[in-house]
Amino acid sequence: MICEVNVHPYRGGRFTGCEGVLPLEGVVGISHADGKIIFYVEGEKDKSKIPSSYKGFPVEIRVIGRIRS
């Protein structure tokens, strides 16, 4: 399971159970907007690790590079 997604069209939503994705090398974050799940990855090669949809929700993948603190 990637994430348990609870999205309400008027109240936003929340993610639970995403622990399995963030440890994947190259996946640096997850969010949601406009009824879709957004995965943030380091590079183009990491896009193949993410499915095109999950539990009926479309998935968007954004390449943002490595996050540095």
Tens of pLDDT along 16-68? 555 555 567 888 888 888 888 898 999 999 999 888 887 788 999 999 988 88
Domain spans in the chain, listed from the N-terminal domain onward: 4-63
Beta-bridge partner residues of 60: 38
Residue of 61 and 13 predicted with greater confidence: 61
pLDDT over 50 at 10, yes or no? no
pLDDT at 67: 80
CA distance 67 to 51: 22
Strand partners, 14: 6
Query: Maximum CA pair distance of the chain?
Result: 35
Report CA torsion sign: 13, 32, 41, 21: positive
**How far apart are the C-alpha atoms of 65 and 50, rounded to whole Å?**
16
* The predicted structure's pLDDT at residue 29: 84
pLDDT-based confidence at 2, cuts 50/70/90? very low
